[in-house]
Amino acid sequence: MRVFTALLVPFTLLPRSPRRTLLTSVGNKAASTKQQRVPKAMTRRSMMSSSSETDTPVPPRRIIQFNHAGASPSPPSVVEAVLNHMKLEQTLGGYTAAEMANLPGVYQSVARLLHLPSNNCQEKNYTYNPTHEIALVESATVAWTRLFYSMVQYQHQRQPQPQPQPQPQQRVILVSEAEYAANVVAACQWAKDHSRLYSTSSSNEPAWTVLSITSSKNKDGTSTGCVDLEVLQQMFRGKYNYRTDTVVQQPLDPATIAMVCITHIPTNSGIVNDVEAIGQVIAQHNGHNNNNTLQEVPSCLYLIDACQSAG
């Protein structure tokens, strides 16, 4: 449901237009003829000054946002850098301005912000530059959805482990109860589009399900909003039952868990999920599921939304 809010603005504060200029001139003539004055409370000067005797505008009230990373205004240095680049684009064009911009320096600054090492890293037989692992996009939602779709598509095309007896394939995506709405919508839409219940996909393709991880409880029984680590461990140990549209109680097979999506600091609730402890549970499952052998891609992928954590 979309909510529209009506805002009544004094006529003197509306932007000028030919129609308003005409009305203003007519109004001034009428006012001079009848010797009427515009109420002081409606004049622009009275609304911009601290008293009726001064024309000095009152500076806007400074607002401190509790959601500092998501809602606070940009620092002056950031605004200045953006404006300078926009002026450069207006002078030289977008492509030339991009060539003149110090893009490698931008990636290095982001690497310092994320505390990434400045030198090349060695992992197994693979050497990489940490700055090459950074991708900058236009928004956090775009970044998350691109990562999610690439990871879930890989899991969808991945060959399942051999089973003693043939059984329907299934993939499960676990999300937290405090997940961003856009993230949950993307996961549920993927599950709907790739489920045999709603599509005409062949029987050898897996069906997808999205399950939420129960939040832990306070002493008074209220929800903390944070992921309950005991419930998560039960899910990966095969000791968790969940409900479906057709089955009242169904055991969750840990081998079907393909992804775990967690938001570190969701701004819709102000909680902080213990993503490190959650990762340890997933890593223990991956190590057991892979028979303690290193594998390029683990059986269960872990996606963390940490946009508010970085700032």
- Is residue 96 in some structural domain? yes
**What's the number of domains the chain is made of?**
2
Question: Average pLDDT, stretch 250-261?
Answer: 92
Same domain for 255 and 146? yes
- State pTM to two decimals: 0.70
The more confident residue out of 97 and 6 is: 97
Q: Is 115 inside a domain boundary?
A: no
Query: In terms of domains, do 97 and 228 share one?
Result: no
Assess whether 284 and 145 both reside in one domain.
Answer: yes
Q: Same structural domain for residues 199 and 79? A: no
Q: Are residues 179 and 300 in the same domain?
A: yes
User: Is there a single domain that holds both residue 91 and residue 146?
Assistant: no
Question: Quick one: 77 and 150 in the same domain?
Answer: no
Identify whether residues 153 and 292 lie together within a single domain: yes
- Taking only the tens place, the pLDDT of each residue in 37-91 is 444 444 433 434 344 445 555 556 777 777 676 677 788 888 999 999 999 999 9
CATH number at 265 reads: 3.40.640.10
Domain contains 193:
yes
Measured distance CA(297)–CA(56) in Å, rounded: 64
Confidence of residue 267 (pLDDT cuts 50, 70, 90): confident
Residue 237 domain-assigned (yes or no): yes
Mean pLDDT within 264-275? 89
Residue 209 lies in a domain: yes
pLDDT in tens, 138-186: 888 999 999 999 999 998 887 655 555 444 578 899 999 999 999 999 9
Are residues 95 and 218 both part of a single domain? no
Same domain, 177 and 293: yes
More confident residue, 56 or 17: 56
**What is the reported pLDDT for 52?**
42
Task: List the domain range (segments joined by +) for residue 85.
Answer: 68-101
Query: Long-range CB contacts (< 8 A, 24+ apart) of 139-148?
Result: 140/305, 140/307, 141/180, 141/182, 143/307, 144/180, 144/182, 144/183, 144/186, 144/303, 144/305, 144/307, 145/182, 145/186, 147/303, 148/183, 148/186, 148/187, 148/190, 148/259, 148/261, 148/303
The confidence band for 19, taking pLDDT boundaries of 50, 70 and 90, is: very low
Question: Is the domain of 94 the same as that of 144?
Answer: no
Examine residue 11 and state whether it is found in any structural domain, yes or no.
no
**Does any domain span residue 200?**
yes
Identity at 119, one-letter amino acid code: N
The verdict on 215 and 294 lying in the same domain is yes
Mean pLDDT of the chain: 76
User: Is 128 among the domain residues?
Assistant: no
